Chain A
């Protein structure tokens, strides 16, 4: 009976509001809008706190529905712009809070969990893109090596950073005799330049995923060409040991990091192309975006480490640092990276 009376009362109120009394409508709604505003403010300031109990969540849902309903009633009043704008703002914010809650239950960022679980899991979830990026880089290396072997003159135009004009044996002799100008007094700035350049290249590999992956594949391939060309140049000159001691310490992190950039770019490309997915482009990209962001975070971290190693370790050669030590460091680096990417976070996920 009381429910019936309440319904009758609200119907009467509705009749009065719609036909007669905008003032009364706003008078009835104001406390609820204020309460919704306060709740939203609290949720937005501390998104992870959420609601302390079910009743509070239900109350929030009620306030949202009431505000949405009020907005619907107000739609026909042409001059109530400020009130309508306030209600639109409230409803939009409440809608975002309510429906986003399904996607992100906990937005707090835990660095260790991210490092040891989220990133490696994300990496393995898209292992296909990783292996494709590895294959394209290897293909580029083979082509680079072939081009340098077939036409030594091509070296000058293929290899950047002065490698084209450099004779490997002369460089090794100079470095080992300590006659190279090297990086004396500029190791920190060299490390910074390497980090910035490598992160820039990797981010380009990610970004060019939007060109259906063509740009990403081109960057990976060209990176492989340089790598293959330089390697063949040093191997042909009989400087394999120097090459391993020079490249392995930082390359064991830097090269996989750039390939990770390629992986993220190919993930994006898959979202753009939409193989096997019968959902709109926007939704496909929306689904892949968090994983791409995670991979970007991981590759940035790796490139910072690679920059430090390249600047403070790779550029020291025998007799300052024995090659076996540098090679051991590089192999250990690679093993740890492999373990991190392929073994970490293999336990049950929070969803399980």
Chain B
């Protein structure tokens, strides 16, 4: 890793990787319940593999009962031991359980996962599973800042949670699409607003709009007054577009500007220029 890059922890349970280029990105760490459920699924998969293989191996009893028994012994030893290693190597940090729970094993510094890391984190499970039910591993998980069990610590790996495919916000509180928005008459200011509204504040505005009918009248007025004041402080729109709007309508229009834009990729794929235009090197 380059000297100028650094890895540190946010207060949130995420690993933040700071690139030498001065850009940060966060990898949300997997929680204990998701990891436990992935482990449970993997256990069931291992049992299923043993059951299927065992059924096939029984045919060998016709030839030699001893050989069949030997293969049974090896199967019950190797399948649980190698299942994690093979899956995590071939599926790039995922087992079937992890894939179902949208988890992935990653190098703790953001580099490419190496085979030795996959091998080590899986073969060190005996220590983590001590004295029973992964108590040592669980304790290490809660004590570690990065949610690492001992195997992860030794292998230099972390388990991250992959973002959901459909975690786009619910925009129904904004009302119908295409409704007139006086703020959109000023595209320059609208673009500036989109840029300046922090994600948390945009989400708060959307949540306030979604729950407005559940608020006490006085609280409703206060919440939207505060939000509107905050957004007005970020970008000042001309009087003729903003003066007649109530605080609640102003917040709704701001949220509409921030969240409702046509999906980018489809449009851009249609208009994408030739790759030849990009400068080389």
Tell which of A19, A88, A99, A196 touches B25, judged by Cβ atoms closer than 8 Å: A88
- Cα distance A19–B2 in the bound complex, in angstroms: 32
B126 at interface (Cβ–Cβ under 8 A)?
yes
Tell which of A34, A79, A86, A100 touches B194, judged by Cβ atoms closer than 8 Å: A79
A293 touches B275 (CB 8 A): no
A141 to chain B, nearest CB (A): 25
Stretch at the interface among A156-164, A202-210, A316-324: A202-210
A100 touches B111 (CB 8 A): yes
Chain A contacts for B218, CB-based, 8 A: none
Count A-side interface residues using an 8 Å CB cutoff: 80
- Cα distance A32–B115 in the bound complex, in angstroms: 31
Tell which of A62, A83, A88, A271 touches B280, judged by Cβ atoms closer than 8 Å: A62
A187 at interface (Cβ–Cβ under 8 A)?
yes
Indicate whether A19 sits within 8 Å of B123 (C-beta atoms), given known contacts A34-B272, A99-B111.
no
A281 touches B153 (CB 8 A): yes
B199 to chain A, nearest CB (A): 4
B74 at interface (Cβ–Cβ under 8 A)?
yes
B191 touches A27 (CB 8 A): no
Tell which of A30, A188, A193, A293 touches B269, judged by Cβ atoms closer than 8 Å: A30
Chain B contacts for A268, CB-based, 8 A: 154
B278 touches A31 (CB 8 A): yes
A5 at interface (Cβ–Cβ under 8 A)?
no
A281 to chain B, nearest CB (A): 7
Q: Which of A268-288 contact B (CB under 8 A)?
A: 268, 271-272, 281-282, 285-286
B185 at interface (Cβ–Cβ under 8 A)?
no
Give the interface SS of chain B, mostly helix, strand, loop or mixed. Answer: helix
A49 at interface (Cβ–Cβ under 8 A)?
no
A220 to chain B, nearest CB (A): 16
A179 at interface (Cβ–Cβ under 8 A)?
no
Chain B contacts for A75, CB-based, 8 A: 23-24
- Cα distance A350–B199 in the bound complex, in angstroms: 51
A21 touches B191 (CB 8 A): yes
A97 at interface (Cβ–Cβ under 8 A)?
yes
Stretch at the interface among A65-73, A165-173, A237-245: A65-73
B119 at interface (Cβ–Cβ under 8 A)?
yes
B119 touches A296 (CB 8 A): yes
Chain B contacts for A206, CB-based, 8 A: 123-124
Chain B contacts for A296, CB-based, 8 A: 119-120, 123
A99 touches B2 (CB 8 A): yes
Q: How large is the interface on B (under 10, 10 to 19, 20 to 34, 35 or more residues)?
A: 35 or more
A31 touches B73 (CB 8 A): no
Chain B contacts for A186, CB-based, 8 A: 66, 69
- Cα distance A233–B108 in the bound complex, in angstroms: 51
- Cα distance A96–B243 in the bound complex, in angstroms: 51
A27 touches B23 (CB 8 A): no
A177 at interface (Cβ–Cβ under 8 A)?
no
A346 at interface (Cβ–Cβ under 8 A)?
no
A292 at interface (Cβ–Cβ under 8 A)?
yes
B226 at interface (Cβ–Cβ under 8 A)?
no
A27 touches B268 (CB 8 A): yes
A293 touches B69 (CB 8 A): no
B111 touches A103 (CB 8 A): yes
Indicate whether A92 sits within 8 Å of B73 (C-beta atoms), given known contacts A104-B114, A188-B66.
no
- Cα distance A231–B164 in the bound complex, in angstroms: 61
Could you write out 20 A-B pairs with CB less than 8 Å apart?
Answer: A20-B191, A23-B267, A30-B272, A75-B24, A77-B194, A81-B168, A91-B23, A186-B66, A188-B64, A188-B67, A189-B66, A189-B70, A196-B74, A204-B126, A206-B123, A210-B124, A210-B154, A272-B154, A290-B114, A293-B119
Query: Chain A interface (Cβ within 8 Å of chain B)?
Result: 6, 18-23, 26-27, 30-32, 34-35, 44, 47, 55, 58-59, 62, 65, 68-69, 71-72, 75-83, 85-86, 88, 91-92, 95-97, 99-100, 103-104, 107, 185-189, 191-193, 195-196, 199-200, 203-204, 206-208, 210-211, 215, 268, 271-272, 281-282, 285-286, 289-290, 292-294, 296
